[in-house]
Amino acid sequence: MGKYQEVEIAGTKRPVNFGMWALGEFERETGVKLAQLQTAGADLGILEMVNLLYYGLKHGARVAKKDFPYTPEDVADWLDQDPNATTRILEVFTATLPADEKAQSGQKKARTKAK
């Protein structure tokens, strides 16, 4: 069984996994390539962000051998109920990046916050 982390979203703990298949599905759905995603930071649009989180949750459930009968719209509703969940899920995503890409992503976020 692959790795996943559990993240609490709107009062429910859910498995999250940003493995290659999750990222590949995200790329196919949005057209955002992995290299762009690693440096995009806060530059993702709302629908791209919801889709990224959706695929992390969908594949977290797959890896944990749990059903996931939800849609990106469901995930957006959860995020509306628990706005801080986005940050918690993105921490899992950032933890999956190789070390040099984490530094680049952190630099991008720092530049974004400084504006």
Q: What is the pLDDT, as a whole number, of residue 37? A: 79
Query: Which residue in the block uniquely carries the two structure tokens 């890409």?
Result: 101
What is the DSSP secondary-structure string of 39-106?
HHGGGS-HHHHHHHHHHHHHHHHHHTT------HHHHHHHHHH-TTHHHHHHHHHHHHS-HHHHHHHH
The model scores a pTM over 0.85: no
Domain ranges for the chain: 5-100
Query: Which residue in the block uniquely carries the two structure tokens 């290659």?
Result: 20
Q: What is the pLDDT, as a whole number, of residue 83? A: 92
* Rounded average pLDDT per 10-residue block, the chain, 115 residues: 88 96 94 79 84 98 97 98 95 80 49 45
What would the pLDDT profile of 14-43 be if each residue is shown by its tens digit?
Answer: 999 999 999 999 999 999 988 887 775 557
Handedness of CA 18, 20, 26, 27 (dihedral sign): positive
Angstrom distance (rounded) from CA 3 to CA 64: 8
